[in-house]
Structure 1
Amino acid sequence: MRIIAGMAKGTRLKMVSGTHVRPTADRVKESLFSVLGPFFEGGWALDLFAGTGALGLEALSRGMERAIFVDQSRTSLETVRSNVKACKMEDRVELYCKDARAVLKMLKQRELRFQLIFLDPPYQKSLLLPVLKSIATSDLLSEDGTVVAEHASREHPPETVGSLRSYRQLTYGDTTITLYGT
C-alpha cells in the first residue's frame, strides 16, 4: 500500500497488524480519486474509521490543506501516526482515538466544515447508517463537499440520509463506495 499521487507519491504505508482492518486497495483508491478529482486546492478532509489513514493521506498528498483522522483502535491510530510521519505531514493533521460519533459532535462545536469525509466503518458492525445520520445532522460537510462511504457491496445504504443525497456508486468486487453530497 502506498500514496499514489501528489507530494508524497510513492511513500509506502504501514499496515495495521491483525485482521480487524481492511485497507482500501490501491486500485480502488486510484479509481476513487480519479472520480473525486485528481488534485485539490486546499480544504479539510475527515477520515473516520481511519485504519491506516491511507485515504486521508492520499487527499493531503493531492492538495488538501488539513486532515483529521479518527479511529477507536489505539493500534490503528498508532499506524496512522507512523504513516503521517512517513509522509512528512505531522503539521497538517489531528488524530483522535475516540468513537466517530463523539468526534463528530466535538467537530460540530468547533464549526469546522470538510470538503471530503471518508467513512469506512467495519462492515459487520452496522455503523454506516448511524454515522451517515450524524454527519447529516452535524452540518460538517461543506456546500460542495463529498462523503465517501465505503461498504460491503451486499449493503444498500439509502439514497437520502437527512441532507445527504447519493449521487454515484463505484463497485469493486466485494466493496462499494457510495458518494454523497448536499
Structure 2
Amino acid sequence: MRVISGEFRGRRLATVPGNGTRPTADKVKESMFNMIGPYFDGGDVLDLYAGTGALGIEAVSRGMGHGTLVDSAYAAIKTIRENVGLTKAEDQFTILKEPVSAAIKKFSTSDQSFDLILMDPPYAKQDVIKQLAAFVAGNVIKPGGTVLVETGTDVDYPDTIAGYEILRHHEYAVAQVLILRREA
C-alpha cells in the first residue's frame, strides 16, 4: 500500500497488524480520488474509520491543507502515527483515538467543519445513512463539501439522501463507493 499521487507520492504505508482492518486497495483508492478531485487547493479533510490513515494522507498529499484522522482501535492509531510520520508533515494532521460517533458529536458542537469527509466503515458496522444525517444536522460538512463513502455491496442506498446531491455511485467486486455533495 502506498501514497498514489501528490506531495507524498510513492511513500509505502504500514498496514495494521492482524485481520481487523481492510485497507482500500491502491487501484480503488486511485479511482476514488480521480472521481472527487483528483487534486485539491487547501481545505480540511476528515477521515473516519481511518485504519491506516491512507485515505486522509492521500487527500493531504493531493493538496488538502489539514487532515483529521479518527479511529478507535489502538493498533490502528499506532499505524496511523507511523504513516503520518512517513510524510514528514505531522503538523498537517490531527489524530484522534475515539469512536466515530463521539467524533461526530464533538465536531457537531464545535465550530470545526470539513470540506471533505472520507468514510470507510467496517462492513459489519455500517450505519452510514444516520451518520450522513448527523453531518448535515451538526454542520460537520461544509455547504458544498464532499462526502465519499466506501461500503460493502450489501448496503442499499435510497434514491435521494436529505441534504445531499448524489454525484456518483460506483460498484466494485466487493465494495461500492458513493460520492455526495452537501447542498448549499
Same-fold status (TM-score > 0.5)? yes
Matches of 1:72 and 1:133, distance apart in 2: 21
The letter of the residue matching 2:86 is A
8 Å contact kept, 2:164–2:181? yes
Give the aligned partner of residue 150 of structure 2.
150
Which blocks of at least 5 consecutive residues in structure 1 are unaligned? Answer: none
Other-structure match for 1:117: 117
Aligned length: 182
SS of residue in 2 equivalent to 1:133: helix
Query: How far apart, CA to CA, are the structure 2 residues paired with 1:126 and 1:43?
Result: 27
Give the Cα separation in 1 of the matches to 2:173 and 2:88.
Answer: 33
| 1:173 correspondence with 2:173 | yes
The whole-number CA distance in structure 2 between the counterparts of 1:16 and 1:144 is 33
| Contact map agreement 2:108 2:135 (CA 8 A) in 1 | no
Counterparts of 2:103 and 2:159, CA distance in 1: 24
Q: What TM-score comes out, normalization by structure 1 length?
A: 0.95
1:129 maps to 129
> How far has the Cα of 1:81 moved from its partner?
0.7
Greater displacement, 100-109 / 9-18:
100-109
Structure 1 segments of 4+ aligned residues over 4 angstroms from their partners: none
Q: Write the distance in 2 (CA, Å) between the matches of 1:45 and 1:51.
A: 15
1:95-122: per-residue Cα shift (whole Å, max 9, x none)? 1111112111212222112111011111
Cα distance per residue 1:112-153 (max 9 Å; x no partner): 121110111111123223322222211121222111111012
Q: Tell me the secondary structure at the aligned position of residue 3 of structure 2.
A: coil
Question: What is residue 76 of structure 2 aligned with on the other side?
Answer: 76
C-alpha RMSD of matched pairs (Å): 1.3
Kept after mapping to 2: 8 A contact 1:136/1:161:
no
Worse overlay, 166-175 or 78-87: 166-175
- Give the % identical residues: 37
Quick check: 35-44 or 134-143, which moved more? Answer: 134-143
Instruction: State how far apart, in whole Å, the 2-side matches of 1:159 and 1:45 are.
Output: 26
Aligned partner letter, 2:162: G
Residues 1-182 of structure 1 aligned to structure 2 (within 5 Å): 1-182=1-182
Unaligned runs of 5+ in 2: none
Q: CA separation in 1, counterparts of 2:91 and 2:110?
A: 19
| Higher mean displacement: 107-116 or 73-82 | 107-116
